Structure 1
Amino acid sequence: MRITCGGIILYLCVAMTIAGQSVNAQDRSQTRSMVVSRNGIVAAESPLAAQAGARILERGGNAVDAAIATNAMMGVVEPMMNGIGGDLFAIVYDAKANRLYGLNASGWAPKGLTIEYLQKQGLRSMPQQGVNAITVPGAVDGWQKLADKFGRKKLAENLAAA
């Protein structure tokens, strides 16, 4: 049996047509359930974290407040991946000012960790492990900065929801 270029193209077209059939909007048996909300939606890896953020929205908080609560709760339900011992990076769009803000709340090196200090320790480059490789976590400071500049709620209220 000889396979021609036209035969291969026909096979691919049929295969793509079968594979590409979309699920009817009314038949969601093969997809996630539809979610509808009038006041906002919170998405997170953990449903418990999403609920913490949703509680903040229900209590009059804004998206930044909800993000703080959600992130804090992720530290409770997935402490090996999130939490107060980590860093925080955020991009916030202020619709009223039509302005985009970025926050780098990565950890700071201790004040005394200077090149001179490392050289006195006999090191020629920045260590990749050990006490001299650790920074001060920035997540909590980042939450505070976000709450102060963009939030409607105090940081304590956002954290209490978690």
Structure 2
Amino acid sequence: MRVFREGIFLFIAVILWTGNSHGQDRGQTRSMVISRNGIVAAESPLAAQAGVRILEQGGNAVDAAIASNAMMGVVEPMMNGIGGDLFAIVYDAKANKLYGLNASGWAPKGLTIEYLEKQGIRSMPQQGVNSITVPGVVDG
């Protein structure tokens, strides 16, 4: 965490050094909340703040991401939340390991090749009910 805190200090020092006295331009960036324990960026400032609160209580980056996503499900349910898929790259500094997670949705149990062939479908449709997957974010 020490390196991360020094990184935050460096980030703030660069902003001050460049003379940028204006607020962050929100036109092309995500809302960002900075604390002594880390930085969380999310589409909504409330979601970023939820993630930072987790960091302040001793949680790690994964905990903060889960809290931020849960809040996004509340403030922008049409864009995020438990009804989607999850893709993550997580670096464990203690173990010096990088993990990739693909929690994309699975096909429904009854959607088999045989079922599609009986419907006259020879390749996976790009739209319609047969292209729907079961959300994967909760399992991920």
Q: Normalised by the size of structure 2, how large is the TM-score?
A: 0.75
Spell out the pairing of 1:115-130 with structure 2 (5 A cutoff): 115-130=113-128
Give, in whole Å, the separation in 1 of the partners of 2:16 and 2:72. 34
**CA deviation vs aligned residue, 1:10-43 (integer Å, no higher than 9, x gap):** xxxxxxxxxxxxx97373234529x864211111
Letter in 1 for 2:85: D
| 3-state DSSP of counterpart to 2:138 | helix
1:105-156 alpha-carbon deviations (Å, 9 max, x no partner): 00000222121110011112212222211000011111xxxxxxxxxxxxxx
Residue in 2 aligned with 1:97? Answer: 95
Aligned-pair Cα RMSD in Å: 2.2
Determine which structure has the larger strand proportion and give its number.
2
Extract unaligned runs of 5+ from structure 2.
1-14, 26-32
Change in CA separation of 1:39 and 1:51 when aligned onto 2, cut-off 3 Å:
same
Name the % identity: 84
Aligned residue among 125, 128, 131 for 2:129: 131
The structure, 1 or 2, with the larger RCO (C-alpha pairs under 8 Å, 6+ apart) is 1
Q: Which runs of 5+ in 1 are unaligned?
A: 1-22, 143-162
Moved >6 Å (runs of 4+) = none
Please state if 1:25 is matched with 2:17. yes
Aligned equivalents of 1:125 and 1:26: distance in 2?
55
Q: Which has the higher helix share?
A: 1
CA distance in 2, matches of 1:60, 1:24: 29
Alignment check: 8 A CA contact 2:88 2:101 kept: yes
Q: Which has the larger radius of gyration?
A: 1
Q: Which amino acid aligns with 1:124?
A: R
Letter paired with 2:130: N
How many residues are matched? Answer: 119
